[in-house]
Structure 1
């Protein structure tokens, strides 16, 4: 396998070809990953998450949204992290989401163990993270190549309607007084669409920035300083010297 050329030695006139040759994934590989993750999406849409009591007495999945690089079209080659935001009917406000977030995560986690389709994909390492916001994280494998994919599921309150958000939404957000980052998934559709419909040239630039960032997390000779690269992080901070996953980046 050919070794990728160092980004720092690529002249500006060759950046487009560098992205196409080394950073942009093949269509076949991307389709394989998305087809595998579609099994998770189907489970979330079709599973009955109702319980006899508690916050999940009447739970419907309003929408499953693919976010991050797979959602907005800036995925890097060999990236195997996929993030899904699940808007649920049991959340009627930011406050309710904050109150019942953990309970809903545990419920989804419990039901996953009974999904045969997910078991057939090698479901493993299923756990609830302590990130902000907390989420469900697990691994599955693609059907053809058995490549491991890490999937993150974040339940959220669907604060936005089909139109642009009103000032009332932001007023409610301020009044909820949540920890920074707690309610960001509620606005993930706006974040995704901000990039998704932009020209390919901009997406190529974002791929270059993310590629540079990942290299900068492992400083070596002639590499940028890691502390400088951390400025690109979105709210979450990794441990010193540890790379931040694709889903921890701004785009």
Structure 2
């Protein structure tokens, strides 16, 4: 809590210095993390996933997108969690994604355990987490300092097509999203490039503010001691239910 107390005592004129001194990742650490995660990205791009999951085609990754804090430039020092969205060739609609999502996660898991370059990075704690949507979560280590990195892989339907501009998506995308009748947030990864770009190209002042809010939340108001939900790097849930003290999505911040 020491840094939180220091934050409360920091005048507005010195907040930029506070962010630079305490919250921005060390450049060396950031480079090491992204270097290790690049091995995961290479694995996703190179592998073809196939198995008995009701699909008539070999599954390949069309694009790997680094999202969350490391994707949009708001990472906080020593919070080594990187989320990757993998757009897959086998998903041609939101309905197909919902139908085959868990099966695809299992296929990726099996291939993951056979990759020698990832095993050399200390691959461990592989699990499929429950959520909207489910994700494959595991830990690897940086090459030189052996710091643990949590990596989250979320398969998704490439609803926005091969190129995402700053213009609004075609209305048909939202029509198909509504017709899919998914749970709130379930198809959010399909729009993750829009979410990332919304923050990534904003001024440094805004990114500093987001780092401050994230730091304040994680230090003073995180609802529990367990590992946060895999999407917390991209969306911090700040509300709490009265009965159980659990987070509810009353306010969602793109972090």
- Does residue 191 of structure 2 align to residue 187 of structure 1? yes
Query: Deviations along 1:139-198, whole A, 9 cap, x unmatched?
Result: 001100000000000000000022441000000000000011110000000000000011
**Residues 65-214 of structure 1 mapped to structure 2, 5 A cutoff:** 65-161=65-161, 162=163, 163=165, 164=167, 165-214=169-218
Equivalent residues, number: 234
Using the size of structure 2 for normalisation, the TM-score is: 0.85
1:48, CA displacement in angstroms? 1.7
Q: Which has the higher strand share?
A: 2
Residues 234 and 250 of structure 1 are in contact (CA less than 8 Å); yes or no, is this contact kept in structure 2?
no
Q: Distance in 1 between matches of 2:74 and 2:187?
A: 23
Change (3 A) 1:175 1:82: same
| Aligned-partner SS, 1:7 | helix
Aligned equivalent of 1:45: 45
Q: Distance in 1 between matches of 2:136 and 2:25?
A: 26
What are the ranges of 5 or more consecutive residues in structure 2 without an aligned counterpart?
224-234
Question: Which residue of 2 is the match for residue 27 of structure 1?
Answer: 27
Q: CA deviation at 1:53?
A: 6.5
* Deviation at residue 83 of structure 1 after TM alignment: 0.4
CA-based RMSD: 2.5
Q: Structure 1-normalised TM-score?
A: 0.86
Q: Deviations over 1:20-72 (max 9, x none)?
A: 00001111110000000000000000012133762263212110000000000
Please report how far the alpha carbon of residue 242 of structure 1 lies from its aligned counterpart in structure 2 after TM superposition. 7.6
Structure 2 residue matching 1:20: 3-state secondary structure? helix
